[in-house]
Amino acid sequence: LARPVYAGQLPQGLQTISNIIAVSSCKGGVGKSTVAVNLAYTLAGMGARVGIFDADVYGPSLPTMVSPENRLLEMNLEKKTIIPTEYLGVKLVSFGFAGQGRAIMRGPMVSGVIDQLLTTTEWGELDYLVIDMPPGTGDIQLTLCQVVPLTAAVIVTTPQKLAFIDVAKGVRMFSKLKVPCIAVVENMCHFDADGKRYYPFGRGSDTNIHSSLFTYLQVVQQFGIPHLFDLPIRPALSASGDSGMPEVAADPQGEVAKTFQNLGICV
Ligand code: ADP
């Protein structure tokens, strides 16, 4: 991926990272963290040097989704830097590893904490840093996007009509900042049972069935997002998120890993 020209000065902690990918959603609970973590472990499985930054200080999911031996971030007191923890070769930083639990903070404080955690970390040489963004498109997200020179964004949504309007909001935010959205992941779109396929939210990306497609097509055509992916409801994906072993790490040749390998990110 080509990094867009970055107007500000590159924060020192980020200078050894080739690509920074934001995984974003307008709402919570749509599977953003699941996508961020599985994308990161897929890239690692393809041979890339990868880190994950969990920027969701209000509800950090990373400590549940991965199980590193060392669950606390270490500080280098001399250099005043943070040393990420690591699990299966992926470097990890989350507010949930800072020993504070959930944060009760106001917006500007949150931005400050995110900024500090992200830019004072000794990431080392990374091909990809995947940022699990806080849900939404408000000030916190905007500040984060301004501090960090993002290479690209991936937007996660569920297939309802309203969710597609949310996608448009996300795309608008990133396009204002000149960050290309490379993919939309339509999560929990269907499940298979008794030999049949069910679409609990309607068929978002299907032309004939669901009215939401119109909005969706507008988003894709208007903004030119090259990749759209379905991620079905999979009990294994949910169970792996709770067990601390990402599904793609447990099953690197499986269906989910293949979806992420095709997301348009090269290693
Ligand atoms: P967000 O980061 O958007 O808040 P999460 O990734 O934490 O969402 O997902 C919310 C819950 O839904 C988690 O328990 C997760 O395991 C589950 N989940 C997400 N995607 C899927 C999926 N495709 N199939 C089954 N469960 C899923």
Dihedral angle sign, alpha carbons of residues 42, 125, 131, 65: positive
- Per-residue pLDDT, 210: 44
Name the class of domain 12-261: alpha beta
Entry pTM: 0.91
Cα distances from 196 to residues 73, 143, 190, in angstroms, run: 46, 45, 10
Which band of pLDDT confidence, cut at 50, 70 and 90, is reported for residue 208? very low
Pocket test for ligand 1, best of 156, 238, 255, 260 (most atoms within 8 A of CB): 238
Which band of pLDDT confidence, cut at 50, 70 and 90, is reported for residue 249? very high
- Per-residue pLDDT, 132: 96
Q: What are phi and psi of 83, to 5 degrees?
A: -105, 120
Dist CA 158 CA 260 (whole Å): 17
Instruction: Decide: 30 and 252 in contact? Cβ < 8 Å.
Output: no
Residue nearest to atom 23 of ligand 1 (CA): 233
List pLDDT tens digits, range 59-76: 889 999 999 999 989 988
Q: What are phi and psi of 89, to 5 degrees?
A: 80, 0
Dist CA 166 CA 24 (whole Å): 11
Minimum-distance ligand 1 atom for the alpha carbon of 231:
23
List pLDDT tens digits, range 172-191: 889 888 899 998 888 998 89
- Per-residue pLDDT, 216: 60
- Per-residue pLDDT, 56: 86
Determine the distance separating the centroid of ligand 1 and the alpha carbon of 158, expressed in angstroms.
11
**Closest to 55 in 3D by CA, of 2, 121, 124, 127:** 121
Residue nearest to atom 27 of ligand 1 (CA): 238
Minimum-distance ligand 1 atom for the alpha carbon of 132:
2
Pocket test for ligand 1, best of 34, 155, 245 (most atoms within 8 A of CB): 34
10 Å CB burial of residue 3 (0-12, 13-18, 19+) is: middle
Q: What is the arithmetic mean of pLDDT over 155-168?
A: 79
Residue nearest to atom 17 of ligand 1 (CA): 238
Determine the distance separating the centroid of ligand 1 and the alpha carbon of 9, expressed in angstroms.
35
Please, which residues bridge with residue 156 across strands? 185
Dihedral angle sign, alpha carbons of residues 138, 65, 179, 211: negative
Asked which of 14-23, 195-204, 232-241 is least confident by mean pLDDT, the reply is 195-204
Q: What is the identity of the amino acid at 119?
A: T
List pLDDT tens digits, range 99-135: 755 555 566 677 777 888 888 999 999 999 999 999 9
Which band of pLDDT confidence, cut at 50, 70 and 90, is reported for residue 5? very low
Asked which of 46-50, 156-160, 220-224 is least confident by mean pLDDT, the reply is 220-224
Cα distances from 241 to residues 32, 38, 61, in angstroms, run: 12, 9, 9
Higher pLDDT, 219 or 242: 242
Residue nearest to atom 5 of ligand 1 (CA): 31
Domain parsing of the chain, residue ranges: 12-261
In the sheet that holds 227-231, the strands lie side by side as 85-87, 90-94, 50-54, 126-132, 17-24, 152-157, 181-187, 227-231
Higher pLDDT, 19 or 216: 19
Instruction: Decide: 63 and 99 in contact? Cβ < 8 Å.
Output: no
Determine the distance separating the centroid of ligand 1 and the alpha carbon of 31, expressed in angstroms.
4
- Per-residue pLDDT, 46: 95
Ligand 1 surroundings by CB, under 6 angstroms: 25, 28-34, 61, 187-188, 231, 233-234, 237-238, 241
Which band of pLDDT confidence, cut at 50, 70 and 90, is reported for residue 202? confident
